[in-house]
A and B are shown apart, each in its own frame.
Chain A
Amino acid sequence: MTDLIKLTAAEIAAKIASGEVTAVQVTEAHLARIEAVDEKVHAFLHVDREGALAQAREVDAKRERGEKLGPLAGVPLALKDIFTTKGIPTTVGSKILEGWIPPYDATLTRKLKEADVVILGKTNMDEFAMGSSTENSAYGPTGNPWDLTKIPGGSGGGSSAALASYEAALAIGTDTGGSIRQPAAVTGTVGVKPTYGAVSRYGMVAFSSSLDQGGPCARTVLDAALLHEAIAGHDPLDSTSIDAPVPPVVEAARNGDVKGMRVGVVKQFRGEGYQAGVLQRFDESVELLKELGAEVVEVDCPSFDLALAAYYLIAPSECSSNLARFDAMRYGLRVGDDGTKSAEEVTALTREAGFGDEVKRRVILGTYALSSGYYDAYYGSAQKVRTLITRDFEKAFGEGGVDVLISPTTPTTAFPIGERADDPMAMYLADLCTIPTNLAGNAAMSLPCGLAPEDGMPVGLQIIAPAMADDRLYRVGAAVEAAFNARWGHPLLEEAPSL
């Protein structure tokens, strides 16, 4: 039965549909795995054992009744604790929401339930999705299953760690500056940031509304595509949701091919600050793409050099506004309400007690950037950089004629827990390659491209596509994945040490 946890989501769904195994057996196998290893990994903040088994029983009953099952029916999934779940705690990794039980489901949660996906529980994350290491969780860090003394990436480290430790077959993340792709890269898994607006943000606790995007995490490109299709689509409850058909991502993942494609290598994504082993694996990926029949060209995106600076003004500005809702009045923590203090004082005491360092840092930075006298110099200029970055992408995909861009996902492999904890600028560098895509709103994927020779840790390859062309990520990703697996003789994750 332990083999059930090693199956891909597509395999699990097929076995359940054919009656070879039951959804309850699959769920029980994953719950047993969580029980055995999560004390070490700490991928989960909350495991909903009873709820998961109830969902699994419902899938089995549907099958027995002869009802048609969806393509992911019965597959166990780990949900980032940023999505509201009716009746199940949602903390966003913060003390300020400790014990909060939402009275409603996020649209994404509802879609997963409608697709008969089994939700195992809520995964650990940097507080309010602010961070690149999952060390900012108020509930303690998550370990990287490849080396538990190292970070699993952030902010969705719990989701990727759950996949890499075989605690779940699928997971959900959110990507504001790289929080799906970066954990995927450093844990040897697959993560996709869909086009901005492709997946509803209703019920996803807002950090930076113009950048936040939910998306799929998986162990294979096909599994990510199946999950992408299950969660994407227009939502009338979200005014930023795109009202257009979802690109054919599953079809693309089943027909991976790069022959005749023009692949652009971003000149700006290498050089200082990049680990030698990361660049080595990236260069091998470029060679692989050429062998597979792609034409590879260098692309100049000069404004990308300013992306990190623009992001660390825009994201804090939007967060300082979004997090104003945590005022100790309607939900969450309330501190200092002894009958003598004003509402304003209670709010300030509550936020001091409920928010962690990184959240406070960004709230203050955002308040500064939006303040009168500095607004034009900081927030206004950052928005101009955003225009220039969008133009760089448009030029590459337009007159440059490239179909996709590629780069390393992260400049380095996973670093030791604690190493950058007190150096915010060093921490922010982890987002260097992922941020331009969030600023422009287009789509990107990270998938494994080998282990860095110097530390044996996974390296991620990033593929970037124009907005609404998410299917290109899957077409290229599937081709690269198949070629690498053939070269290695197995998926990369099989080289991870057993827990």
Chain B
Amino acid sequence: MPGITREEVAHLARLARLELKDEELDHFATQLDDIIGAVARVSDVADEDVPPTSHPLPLTNVMRSDDVRPSLTPQEALSGAPAQEQQRFKVPQILGED
């Protein structure tokens, strides 16, 4: 089983939208390498005939009739927003200038 490098941690942090500091990268790379070394044992049982279990309950889609029911008011829904404008969530720019 491969270990994890500092570069990989930096890449994963970018994927996970975490702007880690340099000292965090060093710190986490060592710790994550240890943790992954310890948890990699699970692959010892990777037998073809063992089916995976993703959830303790058999999940089925739950449907209900499409009735209008009371819900949060726009004010309530926006009440925790860091910024809002014209009854909408205001977000930083999503598309670049060009």
A residues adjacent to B (C-beta < 8 A): 100-104, 196-197, 210, 236, 239-240, 242, 303, 306, 308-310, 312-313, 320, 324, 327-334, 337, 339, 341-349, 351-352, 355, 360-361, 363-365, 367-368, 371, 376-378, 380-388, 390, 424-425, 439-441, 467
* A-B CB contact pairs (8 Å), 10 listed: A104-B76, A306-B45, A324-B17, A334-B83, A348-B14, A361-B35, A363-B16, A364-B13, A367-B15, A378-B39
Say yes or no: A386-B53 contact (C-beta < 8 A), given A330-B89, A342-B96, A425-B35: yes
Chain B contacts for A377, CB-based, 8 A: 1, 40, 43, 46
- Contact for B82 among A334, A339, A349, CB less than 8 A: A334
Contact B91 A352 (CB under 8 A): no
Report yes or no: A337 in contact with B20, Cβ–Cβ below 8 A: no
Residues on the B chain within 8 Å of A104, using CB: 72, 76
Q: Are A384 and B45 in contact (CB under 8 A)?
A: yes
* Among candidates A196, A334, A344, A440, residue contacting B17 with C-beta atoms closer than 8 Å: A344
A341 vs B92: C-alpha distance when bound (angstroms): 7
Inter-chain CB contacts under 8 Å: number: 180
Q: State in angstroms the CA–CA spacing of A467 and B57 once bound together.
A: 10
B55-89 interface bits toward A, Cβ cutoff 8 Å, 1 = contact, 0 = none: 11101011010000000100011011111000001
CB-contact partner of B18 in A102, A332, A352, under 8 A: A352
Q: Cβ of A361 and Cβ of B28 under 8 Å apart? A: yes
CA distance A165 to B56 in the complex (A): 35
B36 to chain A, nearest CB (A): 7
A348 touches B19 (CB 8 A): yes
Contacts of A343 in B (CB 8 A): 91-94
Residue in B21, B52, B56, B92 whose beta carbon sits within 8 Å of that of A342 in the complex: B92
User: In the complex, given contacts A351-B17, A384-B51, A387-B51, what are 10 additional A-B residue pairs having Cβ atoms less than 8 angstroms apart?
Assistant: A103-B77, A327-B17, A328-B82, A342-B96, A352-B19, A360-B20, A365-B32, A367-B12, A371-B12, A381-B43
In the complex, are the beta carbons of B80 and A101 less than 8 A apart?
yes
A330 to B4, alpha carbons, bound, how many Å? 34
Using a CB–CB distance below 8 Å, which chain B residues touch chain A?
A: 1, 4, 8-9, 12-21, 24, 28, 31-32, 34-36, 38-47, 50-57, 59, 61-62, 64, 72, 76-77, 79-83, 89, 91-94, 96
Highest count of chain B CB atoms <10 Å: which of A363, A376, A385, A390: A385
Q: What chain B residues lie within 8 Å of A386 (beta carbons)?
A: 52-54
What chain B residues lie within 8 Å of A330 (beta carbons)?
Answer: 80-81, 89
Partner of A332, one of B16, B46, B82: B82
Chain A residues, Cβ within 8 Å of B42: 306, 309-310, 313, 378, 381-382, 384-385
Closest partner residue, chain B, to A102 (CB atom): B80
Tell me, in angstroms, the Cα distance from A94 to B95 when the chains sit together.
30
Known: A332-B80, A343-B93. A312 touches B39 (CB 8 A): yes
Say yes or no: B46 contacts A381, CB within 8 Å: yes
Closest beta carbon of chain B to A240's beta carbon, Å: 6
**Separation of A240 and B60 alpha carbons in the complex (Å):** 9
Tell whether, in the assembled complex, residue A240 and residue B59 are in contact, meaning their CB atoms are under 8 Å apart: yes
Return chain B residues, CB-CB under 8 Å to A425: 34-35, 38
Chain A residues contacting B92 (CB-CB under 8 Å) are 337, 339, 341-343, 345-346
Task: Given A334-B82, A343-B94, A346-B92, answer yes or no on A242-B17 (Cβ-Cβ < 8 Å).
Answer: no
Q: How far is the CA of A309 from the CA of B56 in the complex (A)?
A: 18
Are A360 and B24 in touch, CB under 8 angstroms?
A: yes
Q: Which residue of A lies closest to B14 (CB)?
A: A348
Contact of A210 among B19, B54, B72 (CB under 8 A): B54
**A334 cross-chain contacts in B, Cβ below 8 A:** 82-83
Contact B91 A329 (CB under 8 A): yes
Given contact pairs A337-B92, A342-B94, A388 touches B12 in the complex (Cβ within 8 A):
no
Whether A364 contacts B16 by the Cβ 8 Å rule is yes
A-side contacts of B59, CB under 8 Å: 239-240
Q: Give Cα distance in the complex from A309 to B35, angstroms.
A: 9
Q: Are A364 and B35 in contact (CB under 8 A)?
A: no
Given A103-B76, A333-B82, A388-B50, CB of A306 within 8 Å of CB of B41? yes
Q: Taking CB as reference atom, which chain A residue is nearest B8?
A: A368
Q: Which of B32, B35, B45, B64 contacts A381 (CB 8 A)?
A: B45
Distance between Cα atoms of A339 and B19 in the complex (Å): 18
Nearest residue (CB) in A for B79 is A103
Residues of A within 8 A of B57 (CB): 196-197, 240, 242, 441
Which residues of chain A have C-beta atoms less than 8 A from B19's C-beta?
A: 345, 348-349, 351-352
